[in-house]
Structure 1
Amino acid sequence: MGEELIKARLDRTLISNEWYNHYEHSLSAISRIGSDHFAMVFVAKNTSVKRNFSFRFERMWLDDPNLEKAIEMCWSIDVKGIAMYRMDNNLRYVKDNIKKWNKVVFGDLIATKFKTQLELKEMQDKIQTSGYSEVSIREENEVLVKYHKSIRRDEEFWKQRSRSLWLKVGDRNTGFFHMTCMKHKAAYRISKLRIGGIETGKDDEIGKEAKKFFISLLLVDKGLDGRSQRALLEKIPSIINEVQNKALVVIPSEDKVKKVVFSFDGNKAPGSHGFPLFSFQAFWDILKSDVVKGVQEFFGVRIILKELNATFLVLIPKCPRANSMDKLWLIILSNSFYKIISRW
């Protein structure tokens, strides 16, 4: 081989799924001194810190026959005001009550799953001891139905987070959905950021730097007066003619709004309200009146309520181990109502 330079990565770190879920980890090489090998450094950081998670409407809730009645009751409250305000208020009211419904009626997903497993084991142990009977067979089947329902809900829960839309629920892909979700979380995690030449891993410092960076990037230059702004806008070529413009701003019919709502992939990120479009599609008969009136109102007055225009801003790494602001994408997660009106 002579003087040819040969590089090969020989070292690997093997970890279990439990470790992967519990720790934020990284593997890197340090400078070699007096050797032709690089020493590898494995760093594990406990990620069990409690965080405040925003509300998200769960697809697995659709499996409960009591949900539609609960949403209909919440949506029927009398709210005074414009259509967009009523819809925003109803969404917030539904959100607050669904949180309570989830705890009291639907129940904890993990606890229900283990409870039904225990019930099934006790029932089968009883059958092993006492033998089969018509009563024991019926009771075992009832427990099996409950167990399979809990498994299906667990699978739906992780499928919604994994965004693996090409796989179907019911094939027992829970483990795959879970690992996909964990890999996405690890890939999108911003663990370190270089600020002023110094690398930091503190979340509050990373957040402040991100805010400072995008404010300086997106803030309007206050030194630009009205005349200069109009002159700047006049330089932008017009590609929409008058006929097309009128078609874009016409007040849509109920059928048109429904067609737009059902044209979306309902599993996309829900935005600040926490209601993905599949929730609008599933309960369209309940929501349609306020949704349609809200959309028509927007096209009539051409103003959107501030609360319905609220979005989540998320930073996504452009490459592995991104540690500077120029290596991060800013992604806007609009809420469902904004997605509907922007489809025209």
Structure 2
Amino acid sequence: MTKIDRCLVDSAWLFSHPTSSAEFLPHGVSDHSPILVSWHDHHSKARPFRFSNHWIQHKDFKSVVDSVWDEVIYADPMNALSLKLKKLKERLRIWAKSNGTFLQKRVLEAKSELFFLQDQLQAQPYDAPLAAQERLAMKKYGTLARAELDDLQKKSDCMWLKFGDRCTSYYHNVIKERRNMSWIWSITTTEGNKLNQQNEVCAEFVQNYKGLMGTSATTNIPDNFYEQLDIK
């Protein structure tokens, strides 16, 4: 059977209703299946730590890393390394909120500043200080634009992004689509019951894997067990 039914939405819908989903019901005697569009309760959780490549280009990045790495931790080498990595993750997370985020906004501001200086330079082409400011603004905008491109490439996972033109709206839509695809909004149990609530879905997954892995058991070993072993 060929699936001829589709539920089409645009980027405005995805932005307004990020937790919506479509379910195709049995078609019965018709050639088309009814489509049930639903909204799901979504309780956002803390995002996992992700390192952004453009952080390396920031002037304060190395000092943040050094401040954590120079701390003295009294533990064996492996535990000391693990503790330092955990501390570094939290320190970078806090630092990124004030320095690494709002990258798109910073790119737009740098671009506006560059265009403003270039307009002034056209009216005053022999102004040396103004030309120096324009070169610095060009360097700043180029650095931020490359950082934004690297960040979007990492999030959108589009291989041809390396060779194509940057289209911010497209890449942001790709990122939203990937996030929505990673969520499981509803499942049907082995008994045929459909679960839509997030806590019910999570509990069903846990129960299912408990059934696959089994439950814990207590093994009683006799006191003379090792004496009965014939070890040569």
TM-score normalised according to structure 2 size = 0.72
Contact preservation (8 Å) 1:158, 1:174: no
Listed as ranges, the matches of 1:189-208 within 5 Å are 189-195=183-189, 196-208=191-203
- Contact preservation (8 Å) 2:186, 2:195: yes
Say if 2:77 is the partner of 1:83. Answer: yes
**CA distance in 1 between partners of 2:110 and 2:43 (Å):** 29
Q: Secondary structure at the match of 1:43?
A: strand
**3-state SS of paired residue (2:188):** strand
After TM superposition, the structure 1 = structure 2 runs for residues 149-168 of structure 1, keeping only pairs within 5 Å, are: 149-164=143-158, 166-167=159-160
Equivalent position to 1:214, from 193, 209, 212 = 209
* Corresponding residue SS for 2:66: helix
Q: TM-score, normalised by structure 1?
A: 0.52
In the TM superposition, residue 161 of structure 1 has moved relative to its aligned partner by 2.7
Query: Is the counterpart of residue 138 in structure 1 residue 132 in structure 2?
Result: yes
Using the alignment, how far apart are the partners of 1:27 and 1:67 within structure 2?
44
Choose 1 or 2 for highest CA Rg: 2
Superimposed CA distance per residue, residues 86-105 of structure 1 (whole angstroms, 9 cap, x where no aligned partner)? 01111122122212322344
Identical-pair percentage: 15
Distance 2:211 2:68 in 1: 43
SS at match of 2:194: strand
Task: Within 5 Å, give how 1:1-344 maps onto structure 2.
Answer: 9=4, 12-22=6-16, 23-32=18-27, 36-38=30-32, 40-41=34-35, 43=37, 45=39, 50-106=44-100, 108-124=102-118, 126=120, 130-132=123-125, 133-164=127-158, 166-167=159-160, 169=162, 171-173=164-166, 175=168, 178-195=172-189, 196-219=191-214, 222=217
1:32–1:211 CA distance, 2 compared to 1 (3 A): closer
Moved more, 214-223 or 58-67: 214-223
Q: Which amino acid aligns with 1:207?
A: C
Q: Answer whether contact 1:152 1:169 (CA < 8 A) is retained.
A: no
AA aligned to 2:198 is: D
Partner SS for 2:46: coil
Matched residue of 1:71: which SS?
helix
Q: How far apart are residue 208 of structure 1 and its match?
A: 1.5
Larger relative contact order (C-alpha < 8 A, sep ≥ 6)?
1
- The verdict on how the C-alpha distance between 1:152 and 1:174 changes in structure 2, with shifts beyond 3 A counting, is farther
Query: Deviations for 1:257-297, whole angstroms, at most 9, x for unmatched residues?
Result: xxxxxxxxxxxxxxxxxxxxxxxxxxxxxxxxxxxxxxxxx
| 3-state DSSP of counterpart to 1:26 | strand
State the alpha-carbon separation in 2 of the partners of residues 141 and 44 from structure 1.
53
Classify 1:222/1:31 alpha carbon distance in 2 versus 1 (closer, same or farther; 3 Å).
Answer: closer
Match of 1:341 in 2: none
Q: Distance in 2 between matches of 1:16 and 1:45?
A: 16
Contact 2:20 2:39 in 1 (8 A): yes
1:204: Cα distance to partner?
1.6
CA contact (8 A) 1:156 1:169 kept: no
Query: Helix, strand or coil: the match of 1:190?
Result: coil
Q: Which runs of 5+ in 2 are unaligned?
A: 223-232
Counterpart AA for 2:199? D
Cα distance in structure 2, aligned partners of 1:142 and 1:156: 21
Structure 2 match to 1:287: none
